[in-house]
Structure 1
Amino acid sequence: MIHAVPAAHRIAEEAFAREFPQATVWNVLDDRLLEDARHAGGLTGPLRRRMLRLIGHVMDGGAQALLLTCSSYGEVVDTARTLWKVPALKSDEAMFKAALAGPYLRIAVVASTPPAVPAAVAQLEALIPALRPDRPLDLVTALSEEAAAADDPESVARHLADALYAAGGTDADAVLLAQYSLTPARDALADLVGVPVLDGAGAAARELRGLLSPGEQPVAPAATVAS
């Protein structure tokens, strides 16, 4: 797993311990990736190459799967899939697949950092033609930078709920968390908005468990890259 923020490391570890305990998890952290992308106004060529070097590092180390936990760098996974023939997941890809397969007609995507919003929407919209071509989907986004500064899950949930109200997302059928760091607020946010709230870490762990078929053979490290 490759991470860009330390909080994603802990959250992903907890999800794998719960959903895929057979996996040996290898965490790689570059805690400047997200801040440098903010300062650059988005992903630049040097930042993409930096992430690819991290991915190459874990692949050279024998990783049998990759999870990139930072949604802002998700597009780099598309390049990685052409270079390495192992399962490679974007942070929220499994969550988006689950949401599109569900009965939801109006989905809200919430985030606490600006780069996460367009990155999440781009991933979700890219999956729609293949997974949901004939069913309508209304998408609303909400950003609360106050949530990033909150120091407990209940406060984070309140800020996210306020952002949803301001964005007109209160009638959504489901809410998707665009960042792993928001996962601790999932249950409190669900209580506030009264609809299912989906998180990416657990969905990713379940998908990789299925892809690696741990019941048939021992599982080598699954690399998580956090951002």
Structure 2
Amino acid sequence: MDRAANTVSGTELNTRIVDLARYAERLKPAGILYTCSAFGEGIEEAARTSSLPVLKPNEAMFDAAFGYGTNIAMIYTFPPSVDGMEKEFAAAAEKKNSAATLRSYFAEHAMDALKEGDAKNHNDIITDVAASIEADAILLAQFSMAIAAPSVRATTKIPLLTSPESAIEKMRNSVQAKQPV
């Protein structure tokens, strides 16, 4: 809420994210998966200072997208997160030596519909945006968008990646291998 309202500095939010990791570590989990893409810098700091696997919500999805080609599309519903996600995608592409580029599409009013309890309208808005996209793969940016995945997959033949599916698979593999992500 503070991020959406822009009432707290980025430094304060990053501190909160790192503090959240320290709290989680005391509970002895196998790993930490953050579910909001708007806190990238704080999550990176938490990962650098944790002995546990710490995963940003979109990291695994971006890595998986590189396997589909270079023309990647991302649909988002929460504007404050898109700039950071685009930067993270570019950094991940560079790290993987990928020529992939990302085009972002705003599913306007989808988040409002979900907040009002209208999941069908939320999903329909996202699906309509997806139907208009030509790309090698489509990414659904926020965890909250994963509920639209079945509808999107029924509408387009373009491979669709969601952050929860990709992140859970990567975290599971990391925990089973007992390696940092």
- After TM superposition, the score normalised by the length of structure 1 is 0.69
Q: Which amino acid aligns with 1:110?
A: I
Deviation at 1:73, TM superposition (A): 0.9
Q: CA deviation at 1:110?
A: 0.7
2:63 corresponding residue in structure 1? 97
Partner of 1:171: 134
How far does the alpha carbon of each residue in 1:15-47 deviate from its partner, in whole angstroms, 9 at most, with x for none?
A: xxxxxxxxxxxxxxxxxxxx2112227852111
Query: Displacement of 1:57 after TM fit?
Result: 0.7
2:119 matches 1:152: yes
Structure 2 alignment gaps of length 5 or more: none
1:98-137 aligned at under 5 Å gives the runs 98-100=64-66, 102-131=67-96, 133=97, 135-137=98-100
Runs of 4+ in 1 over 6 A off after TM superposition: none
Q: CA deviation at 1:139?
A: 1.7
Rounded Cα–Cα distance in structure 2 between residues aligned with 1:75 and 1:145: 26
The C-alpha deviation readout for 1:123-182, integer Å capped at 9, x for no partner, is 211111121x2x5323210112311133124x32331244457xxx62112110110100
Distance 1:164 1:211 in 2: 31
* Contact 2:130–2:152 (8 Å) recurs in 1: no
Distance 1:39 1:145, change over 3 A: same
Distance 1:179 1:43, change over 3 A: farther
Give 3-state SS (helix, strand or coil) of 2:109's partner.
helix
Counterpart-to-counterpart distance in 1, 2:45 and 2:27? 19
Given candidates 36, 48, 51, the residue that maps to 1:70 is: 36
RMSD: 2.2
Q: Which amino acid aligns with 2:123?
A: A
- Structure 1 segments unaligned to the other structure (5+ residues): 1-34, 217-227
Against the structure 1 CA distance between its residues 43 and 186, is the aligned structure 2 distance closer, same or farther, given a 3 Å change threshold? farther
Deviation at 1:83, TM superposition (A): 1.4
1:209 matched to 2:172? The reply is: yes
The number of residue pairs the alignment matches comes to 174
In the alignment, the residues of structure 2 paired with residue 120 and residue 42 of structure 1 have an alpha-carbon distance, to the nearest angstrom, of 20
Structure 2 residue aligned with 1:4: none
Match of 2:24 among 54, 58, 76: 58
Deviation of the 1:96 alpha carbon: 0.9
TM-score, length of structure 2 as denominator length: 0.85
The answer to whether the 8 Å contact 2:70/2:100 transfers is yes
Task: Assess if the C-alpha contact under 8 Å between 2:61 and 2:162 holds in 1.
Answer: yes
Is the 8 Å Cα contact of residues 117 and 143 (structure 1) preserved in structure 2? Answer: no
The answer to which of 199-208 and 37-46 deviates more is: 37-46
Structure 1 residue 189 corresponds to structure 2 residue 152: yes
